[in-house]
Amino acid sequence: MGLPLLLQPNYVFCSSNLSLLFPATRSHSPHPPSVPVAKSSHLFQHLNFPSQGWQRRHHHRVELRNKSRIRTITCSVKLDNGSATVKEKSVSVILLAGGKGKRMGASMPKQYLPLLGKPIALYSLYTFSSMKEVKEIIIVCDPSYEDIFEETKDKINVDLKFRLPGKERQDSVFSGFQAVDSNSELVCIHDSARPLVSSGDVEKVLKDGWHIGAAVLGVPVKATIKEANSQSFVARTLDRKTLWEMQTPQVIKPELLRKGFELVNREGLEVTDDVSIVEHLKHPVYITEGSYTNIKVTTPDDMLLAERILGINSGEPA
């Protein structure tokens, strides 16, 4: 029986030896730069990427343990997306707002609780709606909360669509995906419980997603992570320099997401985040380094932290 891994499913590790991968940067920063992640170590032998930007060097094999199964992933060091251009009105945003938020202990789902007087879900909606790349926002929510979003129509310059949530996250994403405009070049999936995502980080992950096909915001893990056995004894301590915590948005080209859903539905697979759907296709997923302030509000303590961050960003005393 395999050892259970005491990691949230949205952690990933990318290298077992930073001295091999990042010899020039290791002494200057405790965290590795963003790296693309793929499920197969043989992937790059069969894919042809554009000559500009994609640096196929310093590949290193590592192992990712998922419950009792070990998956091999491949890392590359550098991605230059300077030439990547995301067209205006070419992005469809799927805003997931159908969660129950039981951990908050409130009378309504957490994404609708007021944060400094405004529903949490509206913060990211306004961020996306102000971006020239975004053409539409597809809100996956219970119909009883649609009016919260409807009231914003006079303040934003993008189309709003509504879809019903599903039983699991992947079902809600699939529901939203059915409403994506056929001319969209990127699908940008975001959890509405992350109100503090910045437009700058969104722009970065959109460029990486356009260049690679799939990209996700993430931050290097700061805490010490240990793997434990079934009796809660420490089995080993993982090298945190190789661990990344996944965030949203997660950006995927529509054709990739469609193929991924076909595979997931055909084989009855369960995934814990959106880019995992693409990983099952053995396509590379790039980690775009984001910000630690892009927190997910799930508890009352998170709400207090979000209020402090907003206060600091607005110049008010914390």
- Quick one: pLDDT band at residue 278, thresholds 50, 70, 90? very high
Q: What is the largest CA-CA distance in the chain?
A: 57
Strands 60-66 and 69-75: antiparallel
pLDDT digits (tens, 9 = 90+) for 69-103: 333 333 333 566 666 689 999 999 999 999 776 66
CA distance 224 to 6: 11
Question: Three-state SS for 150?
Answer: helix
Comparing 1 with 169, the larger pLDDT belongs to 169
Query: In whole angstroms, what is the distance from residue 89 CA to residue 212 CA?
Result: 19
Closest C-alpha to 220, from 24, 31, 43: 31
Residue whose tokens read 């002494």: 27
Q: Is 184 in contact with 254 (CB distance < 8 Å)? A: yes
Q: What is the pLDDT of residue 14?
A: 53
pLDDT range class, residue 308, cuts 50, 70, 90: very high
User: CB of 178 within 8 A of CB of 163?
Assistant: yes
Distance CA 145, CA 111 (A): 10
Does 61 or 217 have the greater pLDDT score? 217
Q: How confident is the model at residue 31 (pLDDT cuts 50, 70, 90)?
A: very low
Greater pLDDT, 11 or 37: 11
| Tokens representing residue 297 in the block | 């509000």
Q: What would the pLDDT profile of 204-215 be if each residue is shown by its tens digit?
A: 999 999 999 999
Q: Which one has a higher pLDDT value, 81 or 55?
A: 81
Question: Which of 305-309's residues contact partners 24+ apart within 8 Å by CB, and which partners?
Answer: 306/115, 306/120, 306/195, 306/196, 307/115, 307/116, 309/196
Contact between residue 14 and residue 79 where contact means Cβ atoms under 8 Å apart: no
Residue 204 has a pLDDT of 98
Residue 26 has pLDDT above 60, yes or no: no
| Residue among 119, 186, 121, 125 at smallest CA distance from 156 | 125
Give the residue carrying structure tokens 């320099």.
241
Helix (H) / strand (E) containing 266: helix 254-267
pLDDT computed for residue 297 by the predictor = 96
Joined together, the tokens standing for residue 238 give: 């993982």
**How far is the C-alpha of 305 from the C-alpha of 298, rounded, in Å?**
11
- How high is the pLDDT of residue 64? 36
Whether 63 has a pLDDT exceeding 90, the answer reads: no
Region for 305 from its dihedrals, namely left if φ exceeds 0, alpha if ψ lies in -120 to 50, beta otherwise: alpha
Q: How far apart are the C-alpha atoms of 7 and 227, rounded to whole Å?
A: 8
